[in-house]
Amino acid sequence: MYKALRGMNDILPGVSRIWQDVEKNAISVLRQFGYSEIRTPVMEEKGLFVKSVGGETDIVTKEMFSFRDRGERDVVLRPEGTAPIVRAYLEANLHKTDPFQKFYYIEPMFRSERPQAGRLRQFHQIGAEVIGSLNPVVDAEIILLLAAILDKNGIKDYTIRLNNLGCHDDKIRLSGALKAQLSDKEVLLCDDCKKRLQKNPLRVLDCKKDSCRNIARSALKSIDFLCENCKNHFAGVKECLKGTSAEKKCVDDPYIVRGLDYYTSTVFEVSHPALGAQDAIGAGGRYDNLVKDMGGPALGAVGFALGVERMLMARSKDTAVFKGSATVYVATIGEKAAKEGFKITNELRIAGIECNMNYEGSSLKSQMRDADKLGSVLTIIIGDDELAKGEIVLRDMRTKEQISAKFTDMLKTVNEKLKTYSL
Ligand code: HAM
């Protein structure tokens, strides 16, 4: 028997319903904030990520699903969404019509990591990107948007860890100072970090090994690298967040450096107790040089991506798990009633009401159990008596009260009853 590839999961019925809810909630918030959907191909040229995410990062050196296509091109399954969106933005010349654009995406990403809880090889991100502004108010909007999506999905116990990495020059200054300080301790670093120290010392700060990270963190403490402009920008972001619902969720964390090279200035990660210490539910920040580095004009940009699988892990801790998928359940006794029930089910569905019934002639008791399991708020019951009278019995699952209604009044009666529920 074939099995799904390691780290790549099927999303089965029941669970897919929860995904739809999470995505629907996210889309409604994204629209409220004025973001438009963008969809890019699953495959891209490898060079796109080498140039943007960085040739020395874990994603590029170890984690991309990369291969030669039939035309001898090096292609990869996209490991993240930001670089493809900048590519699409420039390719479609969107900067020429209106440089300021707000995008969102809900898409699968691929990284060949060692699979474990919350770490997959095919995972899904809900992301947002704003291109065309250096204004700190846009950083604040992005953070508020991220918080609103989590809130709307009932995820409560999260923390947004904020930092400022500095501009291009600040990062060079930080990198040099870090290299100087870590050189003395090189023997204590892992083999990967020894290489990182030569090529990109900042990456030692997000090594997966605690020992390397701790050495780099203690070195970082004594380095003052932020220019006045970046300090003011960081203060500006916090000023914009003041008094908002997300302010309480934000804490400063000087150790947030992010594992992708395109970041400058504001960076953040969102942690949640349902996930381990190193795994974030989402993350993002500014990438003010990326549009220019990819051949476009100099334009500021900021964005984030939330991991959907990790949102679900947090959600199941914070909220009751979704139970049902039928607002109205049609329970029937006998073959003739089943035929009438089938017609009624169809009529309700066409009228836009989520409706389900059992086709297997199961006992009334087991159908009522189904109705409960599916979270139905009303159950229609039809047996021989009802058929003879041309009526249905309508049971309110909350109050257990039952009323009768003529077949001809069925839709009207169901709608009236449903109005008493705030669905
Ligand atoms: P990232 O930190 O690499 O950033 O990924 C963002 C989120 O995707 C993570 O916080 C996590 O929730 C989820 N994620 C990453 N890898 C995995 C995995 N192997 N399994 C499950 N979930 C995972 C980015 O991708 C940036 N493009 C975010 C961004 C957008 N920055 C600016 N704009």
Please report, for the domain that includes residue 85, its CATH number. 3.30.930.10
> Across residues 129-154, what is the average pLDDT?
95
Report whether 415 contacts 328 (CB < 8 A): no
Pocket test for ligand 1, best of 64, 80, 102, 139 (most atoms within 8 A of CB): 80
In this predicted structure, the answer to whether residue 417 has a pLDDT above a threshold of 50 is yes
Choose the final residue of a domain: 280, 314, 348: 314
Q: Is residue 340 part of a domain?
A: yes
Mutate to test the pocket of ligand 1, among 105, 125, 142 (most ligand atoms within 8 A of CB): 125
**Of the residues 265, 283, 314, which one is the last residue of a structural domain?**
314
- The whole-angstrom separation of Cα 423 and Cα 414 is 13
Q: 3-class DSSP state for residue 72? A: coil
* H-assigned helices in 272-363: 290-293, 308-318, 335-350
**Domain span at 134:** 13-167+227-314
Q: What is the DSSP string of 110-178?
A: E--PPPBTTB-SEEEEEEEEEES---HHHHHHHHHHHHHHHHHTT--S-EEEEEE---HHHHHHHHHHH
Q: Which of 284, 259, 285, 267 is nearest to 57 (CA)?
A: 259
Question: For 150-197, what is each residue's pLDDT tens digit?
Answer: 999 999 899 999 999 999 999 999 999 999 999 989 999 999 999 999
36 belongs to a structural domain: yes
pLDDT at 56: 85
Q: How confident is the model at residue 389 (pLDDT cuts 50, 70, 90)?
A: very high
Q: Is the confidence at residue 65, as pLDDT, over 80?
A: yes
Higher local confidence (pLDDT), 284 or 56:
284
Predicted confidence at residue 325, as pLDDT, reads 66
pLDDT for 321: 46
Mutate to test the pocket of ligand 1, among 109, 155, 261 (most ligand atoms within 8 A of CB): 109
Regarding whether 310 and 251 lie in a shared domain, the answer is yes
Report the DSSP beta bridge partners of residue 126. Answer: 106, 306
Q: For the chain, what is the mean pLDDT?
A: 93
> pLDDT tens digits for 77-127?
999 999 999 999 999 999 999 999 999 999 999 999 999 989 999 999 999
- Centre of ligand 1 to C-alpha 349, Å, is 39
Tokens read off for 56: 């020395």
- Ligand 1 in reach of 132 Cβ (< 6 A): no
Same-domain pairing of 306 and 371: no
Domain presence at residue 321: no
Tokens for 2? 């074939």
Does 319 score more than 60 pLDDT? no
Same domain? For 240 and 293 the reply is yes
pLDDT at 323 over 50: no
Q: Which helix or strand (DSSP H or E) is residue 373 part of?
A: helix 364-373
Spatial distance between the Cα atoms of 327 and 374, rounded to a whole number of angstroms? 8
202: nearest Cα among 249, 258, 156: 258
Domain end residue (candidates: 314, 345, 366): 314
> Which CATH number do you get for residue 345?
3.40.50.800
- Is the Cα dihedral 398, 402, 407, 410 positive or negative? negative
The predicted pLDDT at position 423 comes to 56
What atom of ligand 1 comes closest to residue 125's alpha carbon?
A: 8
Q: Which of 132-146, 149-163, 243-257, 314-328 has the lowest mean pLDDT?
A: 314-328
Q: Ligand 1 in contact with 122 (CB < 6 A)?
A: no
Give 352 Cα–ligand 1 centroid separation in angstroms: 37
CA angle 80, 85, 90 (to 5 degrees): 145
* Ligand 1 proximity of 328 Cβ (cutoff 6 Å): no
Same domain for 302 and 371, yes or no, is no
Q: Three-state SS across 79-121?
A: CCCHHHHHHHHHHCCHHHHCCCEEEEEEEEEECCCCCECCECC
Provide the domain count of the chain: 2
Nearest atom in ligand 1 to 287's CA = 32
Q: At how many degrees (to 10) do helices 308-318 and 15-32 cross? A: 100
pLDDT mean over 23-31: 94
Tell me, yes or no, whether 201 lies in a domain. no
Q: Are residues 32 and 142 in the same domain?
A: yes
Q: What is the mean pLDDT of residues 196-210?
A: 88
Among 47, 44, 49, 102, CA closest to 261 = 49
